[in-house]
Amino acid sequence: MATKVVMEALSPTMEEGRLVKWVKNEGDAVKTGDILAEVETDKAVMELVARADGVLRKRLANEGDSSPVGTLLGVIATADENIDALVGGGAAAPAPAAPAAPASAGGESTAPANEAVAETKDTAGATAVPDAPAQAQGEASTPPQEKAQATAQAAPPRPAAAPPRPAARPPQQGNGARPAAGTQSGGRQRSSPLARRLASERGIELGKIQGSGPGGRVIKRDIESAVSGAGGRSAARSAAAERLAAEGDFRDVPLTQIRKTIAKRLAESNGPIPTFFLTAELDVTRAAEMREQLAEMGDEYKASFNDIIIKATALALAEHPAVNAHWLGDKIRQFNRIHVAMAVAVEEGLITPVLFDADRMQLWEISAMARELAGRARERKLTPEEYTGSTFSVSNLGMFGIDQFTAIINPPEAGILAVGGVEEKAVVIDGAVTVRKRMRVTMSCDHRVIDGATGAKFLQTLRRLIENPLSLVV
């Protein structure tokens, strides 16, 4: 029986994915669980696996193509099976969503959780093609994630996907100029947006760089290595002139899945959410001294200011449950568990891995977990369970020399804490001028959930914890 290979929902928020590369070629024998392709979701690069045994008879999507969830990407069948009925219509039409379960007066779905899961799975797959005994790969897609803030509900119907393009087209090269050298088959350059921007700023020709990222992709460190050995400004000017001749006055950079998601989520946040901001300056002199003492105990006890902030935030949230909450439209959900997301800058945008039950973790446990999650986030290796389910977020730009900023709330969370850098300042204490280490934090609050006094009391507690840091390690 032929099996459709469709674009699966590989993360809870994924609506479309970009096929990074095919791992299997047409005619290759595959078994259930074999990796067929690598797909870029809105958060990470993940593996699309086979859901049946057979031969990969047809690949209907090109590397670099973005496709909505449910789109037909290929067909697995036996070597002599007729698949004309499957491939003749192009992309698979996503199945219509099951009717939503009736909601109770409080807005909660009355349908059992497993029924809601079944509805979601149906919409992620593709409908069977008439007169052909085929099963849909999407029917065995990634299991649904248990998100703390999600209520059981059916997925909305998706429009039919467009038929696959016959061949990959190169990205637009500015003013109609010819494509630069060094592109992959089909004319598409394998490079991250950050690498392209840095290359443009520093006069480096991407086509001449050997990428060290996944699949030979050119990434930031490749550009930095090229700059260090470029041979001075004259080489950079020459490269810039060559680029101008090849590309014209400008180049359009295609949006990645993570950048599309960031744009959509921030538009949802900055417009509809009535946000106000509270800023406080904290004395972190004692916290700095504690960091030094912990480091003297051994590497396993080292902690950054960001680790200290996360721990203090988690303990403050335990004292102020009104802040550890989500806005759900018809109700406010206050959580009894504290899951703190930390913003991590990656080459193509931002991702927020989550420290679950952060209030119960020791400071050095937070430090170790934060380093591990940040490292895997930059490598795009996080699983959906590791970046969903947060109840509050922390964003720190202090390491970039930023004194103070305001962060945009990640809905449905009710708040986010923006952390600036540590600097020495002359302050007056008991009538005497002395130099102390200071840090500014700004809390963005959803006024539908958090009132001014509520947010101010939370920051008071945060100040008490950070300025008396022994409370974070006992």
Residue for token pair 């609506």: 15
Is the CA virtual torsion 277, 278, 282, 288 positive or negative? negative
Strand pairing report for 29-30 and 54-59: antiparallel
The residue from 320, 326, 339, 447 that is catalytic is 447
CA–CA dist 427, 435 (Å, integer): 6
**Tokens encoding 198:** 């840095």
Rg of the chain on CA atoms, in Å:
26
CA–CA dist 51, 76 (Å, integer): 9
Residue for token pair 């047809």: 58
Residue 55 sits at the vertex; the CA angle it makes with 54 and 56, to the nearest 5 degrees, is: 125
Helix residue ranges, H only, 203-256:
220-228, 233-247
Query: Taking a C-beta distance cutoff of 8 angstroms, is the pair 95, 71 a contact?
Result: no
In 3D space, the residue among 407, 425, 410 whose CA is nearest the CA of residue 278 turns out to be: 407
Sheet holding 415-429, edge to edge: 275-283, 432-446, 415-429, 392-396, 340-342, 354-355
For the stretch 21-51, what's the b/e string if a residue is b when 16 or more beta carbons lie within 10 angstroms of its beta carbon?
A: bbbbeeeeebeeebebbbbbbbbbbbebbbb
Active site residue 447: yes
Residue 309 sits at the vertex; the CA angle it makes with 306 and 312, to the nearest 5 degrees, is: 150
Helix residue ranges, H only, 18-80:
none
Amino acid symbol at 283: D
Beta pairing partners, 392: 340
**Looking at the annotation, which residues are catalytic?**
447
